[in-house]
A and B are shown apart, each in its own frame.
Chain A
Amino acid sequence: GDSVTQMEGPVTLSEEAFLTINCTYTATGYPSLFWYVQYPGEGLQLLLKATKADDKGSNKGFEATYRKETTSFHLEKGSVQVSDSAVYFCALRPFGSATGKLIFGQGTTLQVKP
Chain B
Amino acid sequence: EADIYQIPRYLVIGTGKKITLECSQTMGHDKMYWYQQDPGMELHLIHYSYGVNSTEKGDLSSESTVSRIRTEHFPLTLESARPSHTSQYLCASSDTGANVLTFGAGSRLTVL
Interface residues of A (CB under 8 A from B): 32, 34, 36, 38, 41-46, 49, 51, 87, 89, 93, 97-102, 104, 106-107, 109
Contacts and interface: CB of A to CB of B under 8 A. Distances in A.
Nearest to A89: B43
A87 B31 contact: no
26 contacts: A32-B99, A36-B103, A42-B105, A43-B6, A43-B90, A43-B92, A43-B105, A44-B43, A45-B103, A46-B101, A46-B102, A87-B41, A89-B43, A99-B50, A99-B98, A100-B33, A100-B48, A100-B101, A101-B33, A101-B58, A102-B45, A104-B42, A104-B43, A106-B40, A106-B42, A109-B41
A44 B103 CA distance: 6
Contact of B98 (A38, A44, A87, A100): A100
Contact of B101 (A41, A87, A102, A107): A102
Nearest to B105: A43
A46 B103 CA distance: 9
B31 A99 contact: yes
Interface residues of B, number: 24
Given A38-B41, A45-B103, A46-B102, 11 more contacts: A36-B103, A41-B105, A43-B6, A43-B92, A43-B104, A44-B92, A98-B98, A99-B50, A104-B43, A106-B41, A107-B40
A38 B103 CA distance: 10
Nearest to A49: B100
A44 B41 contact: no
B24 interface: no
B48 A99 contact: yes
Contact of A43 (B50, B58, B103): B103
Nearest to A102: B101
